[in-house]
């Protein structure tokens, strides 16, 4: 199994300030975990910078210009009450877009089986014309539209297991039949979207979880709702908004998942990808704010993508 791991020092330059949960230490903890000998066969990739043309697949030029204009020469600037930019943020955000688009190229041309992009800033809250929730550009949405246009795909699926609803991804594809967007998330909770009644044109599936729900409820709802919908949709590429803040130790939410639940959902998504699209999966980091839990969860996720834990039950 050829699994790509995208990382770059530019992602550490996005400085969100002292005490902000979406910090550079998140990626340092992941890098330390993935430096273990068991990851020796992981193919490590330094991504290119993304382009404005790629970003314009989802975001208008005026929004890109606004992001650039907001970047301070020093210190931090708040786009909203929790979304921060600093002098290194533009480079990091463009590099994140470059990572997911390069992953699309590598996976779609058969040079790799799947990919995990350890990127920041995250993306799934970024709406086409609005930064929010720590997010500037919607990385996974851009990757989906890039894949559709460059590889003439008719069916793409995005599965989002971050504990927060991906309002930005939903907004990008709310009336687009070629994308199935399926999200599990704590509700009621930030950002206040993601009700089951939000269905787009039948291509949006929202599966709320209640505070205190564990892996039992998580697996039941995926087995009952999201996984059958994916099988029926038969995607030609599966993209994952991989947030690990539904972990029981995460400080920003109250869902009680453990590492094995992330292994389980990764395996289930791989099984569907094997049946529908030759195993083509691209996973991009979203949330996860307890450093130890994040590192352990990403390690299990990546080991499963590599085929090292897939047979474990």
Tokens of 37: 């000998």
Query: Does residue 310 belong to any structural domain of this protein?
Result: no
Burial status of residue 246 (CB atoms within 10 A of its CB: 0-12, 13-18, 19 or more): buried
List phi, psi (to 5°) of 130.
-155, 125
pLDDT at 310: 59
Strands 237-242 and 204-209: unpaired
164 is catalytic: no
Q: What angle do CA 283, 39, 279 make, to 5 degrees?
A: 40
pLDDT at 150: 98
pLDDT at 309: 74
On whether the CB atoms of residues 257 and 78 are closer than 8 A, the answer is no
pLDDT tens digit at each of 313 positions of the chain: 899 999 999 999 999 999 999 999 999 999 999 999 999 999 999 999 999 999 999 999 999 999 999 999 999 999 999 999 999 999 999 999 999 999 999 999 999 999 999 999 999 999 999 999 999 999 999 999 999 999 999 999 999 999 999 999 999 999 999 999 999 999 999 999 999 999 999 999 999 999 999 999 999 999 999 999 999 999 999 999 999 999 999 999 999 999 999 999 999 999 999 999 999 999 999 999 999 999 999 999 999 999 987 555 4
Q: CA 302 → CA 30, 40, 80, 127, 203, distances in Å? A: 10, 12, 33, 28, 28
CA separation for the pair 147, 254 (Å, rounded): 34
CA separation for the pair 199, 206 (Å, rounded): 8
On whether the CB atoms of residues 235 and 157 are closer than 8 A, the answer is yes
Query: Does residue 119 belong to any structural domain of this protein?
Result: yes
Range of the domain at 128: 3-305
On whether the CB atoms of residues 127 and 155 are closer than 8 A, the answer is no
Query: Does residue 311 belong to any structural domain of this protein?
Result: no
Look at the chain and report how many structural domains it folds into: 1
CATH number of residue 36's parent domain? 3.40.800.20
Query: Does residue 167 belong to any structural domain of this protein?
Result: yes
Query: Does residue 94 belong to any structural domain of this protein?
Result: yes
Query: Does residue 162 belong to any structural domain of this protein?
Result: yes
Which pTM value belongs to this model? Answer: 0.97
Longest dimension (CA), the chain: 51
On whether the CB atoms of residues 170 and 191 are closer than 8 A, the answer is no
Query: Does residue 312 belong to any structural domain of this protein?
Result: no
Query: Does residue 267 belong to any structural domain of this protein?
Result: yes
Which one of 59, 125, 185, 301 is the catalytic residue? 125
pLDDT at 131: 98
């Amino acid at each position: 199994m050829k699994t790509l791991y995208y990382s770059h020092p530019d992602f550490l330059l996005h400085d969100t300030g002292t005490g902000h949960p979406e910090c550079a230490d998140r990626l340092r903890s992941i890098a330390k975990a993935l430096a273990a000998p068991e990851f020796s066969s992981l193919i490590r990739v330094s991504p290119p910078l993304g382009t404005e043309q790629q970003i314009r697949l989802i975001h208008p030029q005026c929004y890109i210009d606004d992001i650039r204009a907001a970047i301070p020469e020093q210190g931090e600037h708040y786009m909203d009450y929790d979304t921060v930019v600093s002098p290194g943020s533009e480079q990091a955000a463009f590099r994140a877009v470059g990572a997911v688009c390069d992953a699309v190229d590598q996976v779609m041309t058969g040079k790799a089986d799947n990919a995990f992009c350890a990127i920041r800033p995250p993306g799934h809250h970024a709406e086409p014309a609005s930064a929010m929730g720590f997010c500037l550009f919607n990385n996974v949405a851009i990757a989906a539209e890039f894949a559709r246009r460059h590889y003439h795909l008719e069916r793409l699926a995005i599965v989002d297991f971050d504990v927060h609803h991906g309002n930005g991804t939903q907004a990008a594809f709310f009336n687009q039949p070629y994308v199935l967007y399926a999200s599990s998330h704590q509700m009621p909770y930030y950002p206040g979207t993601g009700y089951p009644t939000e269905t787009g044109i039948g291509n949006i599936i929202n599966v709320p979880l209640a505070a205190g729900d564990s892996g039992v409820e998580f697996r039941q709802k995926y087995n009952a709702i999201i996984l059958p919908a994916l099988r029926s949709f038969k995607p030609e590429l599966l993209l994952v908004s991989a947030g690990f803040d539904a972990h029981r130790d995460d400080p920003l939410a109250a869902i009680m998942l453990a590492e094995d639940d992330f292994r389980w959902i990764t395996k289930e998504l791989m099984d569907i990808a094997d049946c529908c699209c030759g195993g083509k999966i691209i996973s991009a980091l979203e949330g996860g704010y307890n450093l130890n839990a994040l590192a352990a969860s990403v390690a299990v996720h990546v080991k499963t993508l590599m085929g090292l834990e897939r047979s474990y039950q």
